[in-house]
Structure 1
């Protein structure tokens, strides 16, 4: 048993702040929160927190760990004046150049940097058309190596190889979900990684592909993770080819439910938003990615029942993502204040709860001990009603002191339990090789 002594407890949703209390942890769960708990648990190890902020772990609700080795890329990328050309000229070339080695190091680097920035969990969305079978387990190994909690899935698509590629992607999703089920039964490893059933976007998945995805969801009990309406092209394509709104088309194949995760959604129709709300699904907003890809702004954020924040592959710094999401919203004339964005950040824990069948996101007995611990000498009072303001204008990833996942300190006093430099050195080598493969057209 462990007692974190003298913490400033901060909870985002519902908002709550309490100074000078203790948190008792046994195994992977919080068992008690209150004052002077070391007296109640005399056999516990006690860690003095010196008033540091301890809050439920932050979740990046949509990410692409396969993009981790694209930073500073020197492959020859042609001019890309719009979103589709950016996909074709950069990202779809990069994902075709991935192999097992590159993917592993990309996953480990992304996981390390997620933890350092205060994330306890990342929900990943993966693509590697020339390395499909086994790719999700390679990512799982990266999560387990670092101790990061997460989810992943394969980005089912027909953009490279038609029905054969669709079938291979669906099979990888099913096989990975079954691997997770078997690992849980065996109980030899910590239960840190779960599965979605992945698809790229409606415009690269035919009706035959949607039927395969429906079968995968029914077979595994998992939910769909897909991009939708990231760009107007996706909407126009659906209206032109199928005569339907995007989510209405997915719903015809029973693909929208309370485990569904829709990324972006900038141009979803009012009826599609109502459909997602009725089915209790989630939208994940990725402000920096939308700005980077110049696809526009989602003015409909207040209309969603369930909204979380992600990065779409631009790192995993959720402090920074919240700031950009809030400032862009204000710049676009939005009416929401920082407290709403703090709530959206906290909502990522609800996605975990729905998929891990456990409680996340609160500092209460029975909740998972996934915690972000920060040094933050606040210059103004820190209260429940102003947490959002401190996140938007003060706290940042540089404040992160320690990170606990599943009751284990995976990052403590700004240090990992293993030497990271050899991993970074090898990542630099495999990244250079991948960039050469991109230029060679592999």
Structure 2
């Protein structure tokens, strides 16, 4: 099947061909087969009119807890520690796998409709999420974050360990969609035995690592007090950053931490809205970038940010840090878009085939309708996308060349069933 978009604007994120107007975009099966201002030599099977539309890479949401969408609005306006220990964790204990699947489905639908093509998720029930991603046709880097609140850690008795092994054995690299990651919830929810075990597993299997890191001041300071090292330095000493790692938050990393993160090629997942809402602080994004640390974007969970769509954080990233520093050039719209696409693909280990529009890459993309009052006039495509676009402007989302969402319709999942089951299964479970 050869599909040709014609007369479409392209924001490719490819430095060789960054912006094209009145262009042609050809997709053959799952791959991008043509990009240019002239039509391809091949005759397409389907022609799509791209007038007043722009195609750009789909977003990579590099830190999520999709099933926690069931807690959207459940416990707002608390600090992280109170929020987790007094509200979220007790309610989570009631969740069943059926409830998790119901919440996952609606969260995926929300993200897909807003142009997201891949999620880096940490939660339980991840083999079920892998099956769901395969069914829907969306990408996922999936992990269950290991925790241990006792002195002795027995991997075989840990659900996170068992799920990680299942993901690695049965789902890793399935259909180019699923990657099994090794998850460590955080330094403060585990111990050195856990760190040794998960680091060894990641190294042995060649799997990416996903971890929360220095999210709050108490977390960071308590680690220094207990171990005499920052969370970054401590976890590094146990090999946690030995494979490609996504570290969520990094709000309180030190200068020395930043140098270590750069040396280990760690990507820091930035979700400014979640950190602000929980009053955890603001990551020093400008300094991280100056130090050469890669930063990608994320939404965290919908109970922290109340959303699974990335457009809000895309804009917030571009304006927050510039505003705090009093320098409007500090983080540009293009910088923010790069974090949501190219950097996210790298974080997930997908940079060789995704993250930009380039011939030979997978057709993982979104199409926006520019014919909207809030998007006119369009003097600068990237500025309009970052500062003015909304999730509702996304009219198509494709992953591996397959259309997942088009003009308000989800083509690979039953949205009415998903909405119904969120209420009748997931929400009912936590209220019982």
TM-score under structure 1 normalisation?
A: 0.87
Deviations 1:277-320 (A, max 9, x none): 01111001111100111111112443232001101113221111
- 334 and 98 in structure 1: CA distance in 2 versus 1, 3 angstrom threshold: farther
Q: Determine helix, strand or coil for the equivalent of 1:69.
A: helix
Could you say which residue in structure 1 is the equivalent of 2:66?
A: 65
Could you say which residue in structure 2 is the equivalent of 1:440?
A: none
What is the 5 A alignment of 1:152-191?
A: 152-159=142-149, 163-164=153-154, 167-181=158-172, 184=174, 190-191=175-176
TM-superposed deviation, 1:231: 0.5
Contact 1:358/1:368, CA 8 A, preserved across alignment: no
Structure 2, gaps ≥5 residues long:
none
- 359 and 434 in structure 1: CA distance in 2 versus 1, 3 angstrom threshold: same
Q: Distance in 1 between matches of 2:88 and 2:286?
A: 27
What is the 5 A alignment of 1:115-154?
A: 115-126=112-123, 128=124, 135-154=125-144
Contact 1:107/1:143, CA 8 A, preserved across alignment: no
Q: Which is worse superposed, 332-341 or 191-200?
A: 332-341
Q: Distance in 1 between matches of 2:43 and 2:386?
A: 39
2:8 matched to 1:7?
yes
Could you say which residue in structure 2 is the equivalent of 1:34?
A: 36
Q: Determine helix, strand or coil for the equivalent of 2:146.
A: coil
Q: Distance in 1 between matches of 2:342 and 2:89?
A: 30
Aligned match for 2:97, one of 81, 95, 100: 100
Could you say which residue in structure 2 is the equivalent of 1:132?
A: none
Could you say which residue in structure 1 is the equivalent of 2:342?
A: 347
Q: Distance in 1 between matches of 2:213 and 2:310?
A: 22
Q: Distance in 1 between matches of 2:151 and 2:95?
A: 16
Q: Distance in 2 between matches of 1:371 and 1:43?
A: 19
2:235 matched to 1:250?
yes
Could you say which residue in structure 1 is the equivalent of 2:19?
A: 17
TM-superposed deviation, 1:22: 1.0
- 219 and 168 in structure 1: CA distance in 2 versus 1, 3 angstrom threshold: farther
Q: Determine helix, strand or coil for the equivalent of 1:170.
A: helix
Deviations 1:158-189 (A, max 9, x none): 148962477442232122112124x74xxxxx
Contact 1:211/1:253, CA 8 A, preserved across alignment: yes
Q: Distance in 2 between matches of 1:174 and 1:53?
A: 41
Q: Determine helix, strand or coil for the equivalent of 2:171.
A: helix
Contact 1:170/1:212, CA 8 A, preserved across alignment: no
- 171 and 87 in structure 1: CA distance in 2 versus 1, 3 angstrom threshold: same
What is the 5 A alignment of 1:37-436?
A: 37=39, 40-73=41-74, 82-126=79-123, 128=124, 135-159=125-149, 163-164=153-154, 167-181=158-172, 184=174, 190-257=175-242, 259-304=244-289, 305-314=293-302, 315-333=307-325, 335=327, 336=330, 337-351=332-346, 355-356=349-350, 358-377=352-371, 378-383=375-380, 387=382, 389-417=383-411, 418-436=413-431
Task: Provide the aligned length of Structure 1 versus Structure 2.
Answer: 415
Backbone CA RMSD of aligned residues: 2.3
Contact 2:58/2:115, CA 8 A, preserved across alignment: yes
Q: Distance in 2 between matches of 1:248 and 1:299?
A: 18
Q: Distance in 1 between matches of 2:193 and 2:243?
A: 23
Q: Distance in 2 between matches of 1:34 and 1:109?
A: 36
Q: Determine helix, strand or coil for the equivalent of 1:97.
A: coil
Q: Distance in 2 between matches of 1:302 and 1:392?
A: 22
Q: Distance in 1 between matches of 2:35 and 2:52?
A: 15
- 258 and 161 in structure 1: CA distance in 2 versus 1, 3 angstrom threshold: closer
Q: Distance in 1 between matches of 2:116 and 2:25?
A: 19
Contact 2:106/2:415, CA 8 A, preserved across alignment: no
- 110 and 348 in structure 1: CA distance in 2 versus 1, 3 angstrom threshold: farther
Q: Which is worse superposed, 310-319 or 404-413?
A: 310-319
